[in-house]
């Protein structure tokens, strides 16, 4: 397996634009996580899916953020409209929520909103 695949790797956009980040989890994994990392706030859990269902979205900052998981092999995180304070590295991770629960991370998407 190629691991967790995120796209794009880098995104530069203007304030007010819509941004969509994509994630392909490892085949067979049933849990998917979206994280945001900044120097100030560290690594924040935004939302957690289990079997394609959002279980915990308490970390989603505000209504401008939305996440979907239409099937077991794809998830998106959308920001609309984007703001400069959304600039961060966004990570997607997946795991099998059994005995192991080891999470595998993608390489991240570095988002810059100007």
Partner 1 sequence: SQQGEEDPQALSIQEGENATMNCSYKTSINNLQWYRQNSGRGLVHLILIRSNEREKHSGRLRVTLDTSKKSSSLLITASRAADTASYFCAPYGGSQGNLIFGKGTKLSVKP
Contact in structure between 88 and 79 (CB atoms under 8 Å): no
Matching residue, tokens 């590295």? 89
Residue 27 CB, nearest distance to partner 1 (Å)? Answer: 18
Classify residue 109 as left (phi > 0), alpha (psi -120 to 50) or beta. beta
7 DSSP β-pair partners: 22
- Site membership for partner 1, residue 97 (CB under 8 A): yes
> Does residue 105 interact with partner 1 by CB under 8 A?
yes
Residue with Cβ nearer partner 1 (77 or 108): 108
Nearest to partner 1 of 72, 103 (CB atom): 103
Assign 106 to helix, strand or coil.
coil
Q: Does 21 bind partner 1 (CB under 8 A)?
A: no
Chain positions 22 to 81 lying near partner 1, rule: CB under 8 A, are 31, 33, 35, 42-43, 45, 48, 50, 55-56
Q: Under 8 Å CB-to-CB from 61, ≥6 apart: which residues?
A: 46
List contacts with partner 1 (CB under 8 A).
4, 31, 33, 35, 42-43, 45, 48, 50, 55-56, 89, 91, 93, 95, 97, 100-108
């Amino acid at each position: 397996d190629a691991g967790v695949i995120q796209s794009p790797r880098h995104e530069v956009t203007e304030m007010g634009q819509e941004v969509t980040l994509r994630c392909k989890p490892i085949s067979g994994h049933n849990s998917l996580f979206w994280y945001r990392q900044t120097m100030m706030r560290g690594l924040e859990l935004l939302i957690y899916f289990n079997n394609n269902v959002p279980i915990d979205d308490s970390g989603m900052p505000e209504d401008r953020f939305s996440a979907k998981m239409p099937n077991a092999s794809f998830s998106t995180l959308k920001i609309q409209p984007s703001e400069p304070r959304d600039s961060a590295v966004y990570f997607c991770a997946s795991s099998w929520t059994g005995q192991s629960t080891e999470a595998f991370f993608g390489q991240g998407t570095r988002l810059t909103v100007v």
